[in-house]
């Protein structure tokens, strides 16, 4: 059952990435050099929609909070984000869009994926050196969200206001930004 | 639904996929699977990379500290790559292929080597582009592993859950990517 769900959801994700243009490095690079903000509008709106529905579903008990998976905050998230950002601009691919772009017949994406395997391998070899360093030190207690969730494993920054209210305000803000941003820069 | 979707329809489609994933199974993530495939390949050449171990939480351990972390979670997935997360990522290739075959946006032969913005700046030669995307891939996956996730896991799934790590990651990624893209390709 798990495998069937993986095939269905994975295909849907690849399909969606392709349909919004995210597998096209031209569109990624144009977003990053602020020449065409189409894709950032898509990303912000997707986050807004999914977040609003997720927190509403959690609040009315339709979604199992055990399915949530909040990642730890530590300094390496920021530093790793910066390193990823450099490669992202250089290639026009990130891990998900690079993989999906192979299905689009893009040859440069195959080289990206092979490079990705090498990058991940290098990290596997140097990980033991990072262990215990400030890079892997937790921030704000680690697994923490802005809006409170019904999952006890995760802390929340804003307490006292129901998580669904906080999440809906954030989602609304992201949605408005997505709507107001121009597609092409003038 | 043909061609490239506008931001409104595209945002709803992408948002619903992220929502379905967390409702049915768990939040979407991609970059970990590069580690799993590395492990699978490494495991072919090494007899002692992954071991079954009664002491570890998952029943598997590895001599590699990264595969061994979190009670051998990655070690177990390397031993059994036919699991949800790995099949999910492989299926993404199929999904993009199906979109291309069902009137999705289609790249030209030249686009399949390098996007137009690259060709205008650096020419049509494939080798140069392939070296760049290979190098980009090294940086992207090294960075993603140091960060513990990528654009899918940290930025999309993370910000969907209002996770602080998601905002932190997005900040770092755009802070580096925007100036580099502007320097490399220009504003217009």
Q: Of the candidates B141, B138, B155, which has an alpha carbon nearest to the alpha carbon of residue B35?
A: B141
Confidence of residue A186 (pLDDT cuts 50, 70, 90): very low
pLDDT digits (tens, 9 = 90+) for A52-81: 999 999 999 999 999 999 999 999 999 999
The interface predicted TM-score (ipTM) is: 0.96
Average pLDDT estimate for A151-178: 96
pLDDT at res. B116: 97
pLDDT digits (tens, 9 = 90+) for A87-122: 999 999 999 999 999 999 999 999 999 999 999 999
A148 in reach of chain B (CB within 8 A):
no
Per the CB < 8 A criterion, the answer to whether A136 and B53 are in contact is no
Q: Which of A46, A77, A114 sits opposite B18 (nearest CB)?
A: A46
What letters, b where the CB count within 10 A reaches 16 and e where it falls short, cover B148-175?
bbbbbbbbbbbbbbbbbbbbbbbbbbbe
B172 in reach of chain A (CB within 8 A):
yes
Confidence of residue A183 (pLDDT cuts 50, 70, 90): confident
- Reported pTM: 0.96
Chain A / chain B CB contacts < 8 angstroms? 518
B116 in reach of chain A (CB within 8 A):
yes
pLDDT digits (tens, 9 = 90+) for B133-181: 999 999 999 999 999 999 999 999 999 999 999 999 999 999 999 999 9
Per the CB < 8 A criterion, the answer to whether B136 and A113 are in contact is no
Query: How far off is chain B from A165, nearest CA to CA, in Å?
Result: 12
Instruction: Give the span between the Cα atoms of B81 and B77, in whole angstroms.
Output: 5
Answer whether A96 sits within 8 Å of B30, measured CB to CB. yes
Handedness of CA B64, B65, B66, B72 (dihedral sign): positive
Instruction: Give the span between the Cα atoms of A112 and B135, in whole angstroms.
Output: 7
Residue B176: its chain A contacts at CB < 8 A? Answer: 81-86, 88-89
pLDDT digits (tens, 9 = 90+) for B18-63: 999 999 999 999 999 999 999 999 999 998 999 999 889 999 999 9
Answer whether A139 sits within 8 Å of B14, measured CB to CB. no
**Helices B84-101, B32-45: inter-axial angle, 10-degree rounding:** 110
If one counts every other C-beta atom within 10 angstroms of the C-beta of residue A59, the result is 17
H-only helix segments in B25-115: 32-45, 65-79, 84-101
Query: How far off is chain A from B48, nearest CA to CA, in Å?
Result: 16
């Amino acid at each position: 059952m798990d495998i069937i769900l993986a095939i269905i959801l994975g295909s849907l994700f690849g399909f969606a990435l392709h349909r919004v243009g995210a597998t096209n490095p031209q569109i990624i690079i144009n977003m990053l050099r602020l020449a065409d903000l189409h894709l950032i509008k898509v990303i912000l709106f997707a986050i807004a929609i999914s977040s609003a529905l997720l927190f509403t579903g959690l609040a009315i008990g339709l979604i199992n909070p055990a399915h949530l998976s909040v990642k730890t905050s530590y300094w390496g998230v920021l530093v790793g984000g910066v390193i990823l950002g450099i490669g992202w601009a250089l290639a026009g691919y990130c891990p998900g869009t690079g993989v999906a772009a192979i299905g689009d017949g893009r040859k440069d994406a195959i080289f990206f994926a092979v490079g990705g395997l090498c990058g991940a391998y290098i990290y596997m070899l140097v990980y033991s050196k990072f262990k215990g360093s400030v890079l892997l030190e937790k921030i704000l207690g680690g697994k923490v969200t802005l809006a409170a969730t019904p999952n006890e494993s995760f802390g929340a920054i804003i307490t006292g206001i129901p998580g669904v209210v906080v999440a809906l305000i954030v989602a609304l803000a992201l949605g408005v930004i997505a709507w107001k941003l121009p597609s092409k820069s003038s | 639904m043909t061609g490239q979707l506008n931001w409104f329809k595209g945002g709803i489609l992408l948002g619903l996929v992220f929502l379905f994933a967390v409702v049915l199974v768990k939040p979407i993530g991609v970059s970990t699977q590069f580690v799993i495939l590395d492990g699978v390949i490494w495991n072919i050449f090494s007899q002692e990379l992954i071991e079954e171990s009664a002491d570890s939480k998952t029943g598997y351990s590895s001599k590699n500290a990264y595969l061994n972390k979190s009670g051998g979670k990655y070690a177990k997935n390397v031993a059994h790559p036919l699991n949800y997360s790995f099949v999910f990522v492989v299926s993404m290739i199929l999904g993009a292929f199906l979109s291309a075959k069902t009137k999705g946006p289609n790249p030209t032969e030249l686009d399949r080597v390098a996007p137009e913005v690259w060709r205008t700046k650096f020419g049509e030669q494939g080798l140069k582009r392939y070296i760049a995307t290979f190098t980009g891939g090294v940086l992207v996956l090294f960075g993603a592993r140091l960060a513990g996730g990528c654009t899918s896991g940290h930025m999309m799934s993370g910000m969907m859950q209002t996770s602080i790590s998601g905002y932190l990651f997005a900040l770092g990624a755009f802070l580096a990517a925007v100036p580099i893209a502007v320097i490399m390709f220009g504003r217009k």
